[in-house]
Amino acid sequence: MAANIGFNLNDTSKTRGSFLTTILHQPIGSLKLPKIKIQALKRILKRPNIKRRNLLIYLVLITSFSTALLIRSVPAKYGFYLNEFDPYYDYRGAQFIVDSFDEKGFLGVFDYFSWRDYMAWYPEGRDVAPTSQGGLQFTGAILFLLFRNVFGVSVSLYDFLVLFPVFFGALTVFAIFLLVRKIGGTGAGLLSSLIIATSPSIISRGNLGWYKSEPLALFLAILSAYLFLSIFSPKVKKIGLTWRAILSGILLGYANLSWGGAQYFFGVMGLLFLISPFLKVDLKRVIYGGSMFAASSLIISAAFPRPGPSIIFGLQGMILFAGLAFAILGFYTKTIMKPKDYRKVLIGALVFIALLGLLAMNLGLVSRLTRRYFTVIFPFQESGNPLVESVAEHQMPTGASFFISYWILIPLAAFGAFLMLKKRTIFSAYSLILGATAIYVASSFSRLMVYSSIAFAVLAGIGFTGLVSSLLKPKAPLEKKRRRIYGIGTEMKIISAVVLIALLASANYYWIPQYDAPTTISISALQYNPGILVPDWLEALTWMRENTPEDAVIIAWWDYGYWITVMGDRTSLADNATINSTRIAHIGRLLLSNETEAKEIIDQLRWDPSTEEYRPAYMATLFSATKWEDEEGVLKCGIGGFPPFLLSLGGDEGKISWFAEIPGLDVSLYIGTGGLLTDYFWTDTLLGKMFPLDYDKEYSEELSYQYNMPIQAGNYTIKYPQDSNGLLRLAFASSFDSFAQVLVYQVVD
């Protein structure tokens, strides 16, 4: 008889060892093993049954995601660096959070909100939390800690953040698919995901190293829109409506913590609430869901010092409140008025709310707009601020840039908008508001073309689906006499489909060259010349970090401030935050002053009020020029038998107009006819003497006449050599292997 084997956890007289010993000494045949049913095992191991349609959807989405990853990773061939300028500051913020966590644990993270960074904006420093996109920095830091501490991924924070925008940009294809599928169907969503994956405007602000606001904020804002629109599905009950509305608000609020541009989506939602009484929609859902959305989004936005509680009573909060108030008015008006009077009352109330809003702004009850936001709302109104206009991404986009980015999508989007106009649903209203406002706002700054990219992706996806549906729709029986006029034959359907696909595919001819762009630091912030890297700034920053005193102050134009602080590990006077326009004006005035005036300004800038002493100071500049060569690359002899250097205007010499305009100097004193730098600049300004070019006016005029174009040339000459007894002496000069050179001068005490 088989032995009865058991193990009672509550019986302390039997140990685990004795139990195992008993088991091992029993014959296999005497053990009673649990019977496993063959049918149950088959069900577990059965191949999943996936519908062919769903399989196709998954394949397209995977293709979009993979394409987005690959395209955004292209700059890796130029070096694994953070891109542009701002990402270096956001990396510094994330590094502070990680270091604080490693040192003090969870509570150390809160040190971020009291952190004043004295390595930027010397000597007063920078109050970080109120002047930073805290949501982005916290997301990067928290995800890094999660991957490092929980999943055991061995990677540096720098490398992790270089990859951060690649993955969030790729994840956006899923968010846009969900949103557009809710509006226009699955086919529209799939095409929209492909458009977002290959959109030049979005890729240029979300490729490798772009650890900046847009990739994270756009992903969150699009996902927020999808969740909010999903509450209008008849299947969604009150509980589902509640959590969707709250989560939608939380996502948009956090997007606002990560990017000030996310405030645009608050405006879209406010306008959606405003027109909801005119739509075929359940206003109870609009009011209930909209109230929770507004509350959660504004509370999250107000939780961080930037934007802070002021957003609740700012323009963004007022738009949401006004929209909800109008929806409530529409709901109650509809219950007490006749249909013929309903619309008239609503239009009158809408005009009254608009006038009330203008009055509140004039009385200061609503936070005033900054000049930058004013320019966004009135895109054809010049900002009038040379500091804002000096930034390349703040330039107004041209019609050509819209056409190159969207050309075949433009007619498709127009057709999609036409289809949406025929409907009066909450979904069609959202797509039309997004389309109209995004294109309008994008006309102000080139960086805001990301809005128009989203709008074109939504409407073009809808338009493409509508067009294909009409082409593939079975032909209705027609009379023979009318068949030639109205009937669409199979041949024409095939031809039309082939032409449409060819047009979409040919768009890559315009788009692909825009993907292959190196990171800014790998080309020293110059215009990209294919096949040529310019590592001069990387060389200069390495030299600063290893050869200058730790308390040294580096004086340079504000473009390079983040690089100097983060990569050079030295104190800078100004950076890309432009939070102190007076300091930037002082630097511009310094560069264009004579030596006597420059000495006074430098002493003011490097004075340390805490020690009442001057700190060691250095001045850095980027000089761009090329040796004069013939078409075959042979050097030509010119001045004194030496090959002259031709000024390129790609470095700081091309920014002189801004150096003058920002402090209010007379630009014509430094830039003359044809954009040539004047004799006064070369002989009487500090920057002119920092540039290693012995300007030869006579020879330059000869070349300009010969080639019928303005040319400035001269021999390469260091005017402040290492043994100089003047104001400056050369401390470092980069290799100058390409067509630019970074020079660092030490201020002589």
- DSSP string of 725-737? -SSEEEEEE----
Say whether pLDDT at 183 is over 70. Answer: yes
Instruction: Give the DSSP H or E segment for 503.
Output: helix 490-506
Dist. CA 431–CA 456, nearest whole Å: 10
- Looking at CATH, the fold of the domain delimited by 536-747 is given as Rossmann fold (3.40.50)
CB neighbours of 170 closer than 8 A, spacing ≥ 6?
Answer: 65, 68, 69, 72, 197
Average of per-residue pLDDT across 591-607: 95
Identify the pLDDT of residue 60: 87
Q: Alpha carbon of 68 to those of 73, 165, 189, 380: distances in Å?
A: 9, 11, 16, 33
Residue closest to 128 by CA, chosen among 526, 565, 607, 452: 565
- pTM attached to this predicted model: 0.86
Identify the pLDDT of residue 95: 98
- DSSP string of 78-131? G-S---SSHHHHHHHHHHHHHHHHHHH-GGGGGGGGG-EETTSSTTT-EETGGG
Identify the pLDDT of residue 8: 42
Q: 3-class DSSP state for residue 744?
A: strand
Identify the pLDDT of residue 377: 61
Q: Percent of the chain at pLDDT above 70?
A: 80
Of 38-42, 532-536, 649-653, which gets the smallest average pLDDT?
Answer: 38-42
Using 50, 70 and 90 to split pLDDT, how confident is the model at 28? Answer: very low
Instruction: Give the DSSP H or E segment for 743.
Output: strand 740-747
Beta-bridged to residue 554, according to DSSP, are 572, 618
Q: Percent of the chain at pLDDT above 90?
A: 56
Of 8-12, 349-353, 510-514, 551-555, which gets the smallest average pLDDT?
Answer: 8-12
Dist. CA 410–CA 429, nearest whole Å: 19
Q: What are the boundaries of each domain within the chain?
A: 1-46, 56-466, 536-747
Q: Which residue has the tokens 């630091």?
A: 521
Count Cα atoms within 13 angstroms, Cβ side, for 316: 24
CB 461 within 8 A of CB 180: yes
Identify the pLDDT of residue 487: 46
CB 112 within 8 A of CB 100: yes
Say whether pLDDT at 3 is over 60. Answer: no
Say whether pLDDT at 13 is over 60. Answer: no
Dist. CA 516–CA 508, nearest whole Å: 12
Say whether pLDDT at 541 is over 60. Answer: yes
Identify the pLDDT of residue 33: 47
Of 13-27, 287-301, 566-580, which gets the smallest average pLDDT?
Answer: 13-27
Identify the pLDDT of residue 498: 59
Burial class (CB in 10 A: 0-12, 13-18, 19+), 360: middle
Of 361-375, 416-430, 505-519, which gets the smallest average pLDDT?
Answer: 361-375
The predicted-structure confidence for 386-435, as pLDDT tens digits, reads as follows 655 555 555 666 666 777 778 888 888 999 999 999 898 999 999 999 99
Dist. CA 579–CA 372, nearest whole Å: 13
CB 572 within 8 A of CB 561: yes
Say whether pLDDT at 26 is over 60. Answer: no
